[in-house]
Amino acid sequence: ISARITEQAFYELDAPIGRVCSKEVPTPYARHMEQAAIPSAEDVVRAAEAAMRGES
């Protein structure tokens, strides 16, 4: 996603592109804990919306 933004809208950016990544923990075995540690599509959408509002 960030590569496409950089390629197509670099000069429109007012701040660096943010990063959405997993939590700083080993990947848990339990499914519910794994889901809490790994970013979801909703996390990406929230980060993109925050960037559009000028939040970091």
**Residue 26 pLDDT level (bands cut at 50, 70, 90):** confident
Q: Is pLDDT of 56 > 70? A: no
Which has the closest alpha carbon to 51: 23, 24, 22, 14?
A: 14
pTM: 0.64
Token pair in block for residue 34: 């794994």
Q: Is 5 exposed, middle or buried (0-12, 13-18, 19+ CB in 10 A)?
A: middle
Q: Which domains are present in the chain? A: 2-52 (3.40.50.920)
Residue 14, φ and ψ in degrees, nearest 5: -105, -10
Helices (H), 2-40: 2-9, 31-37
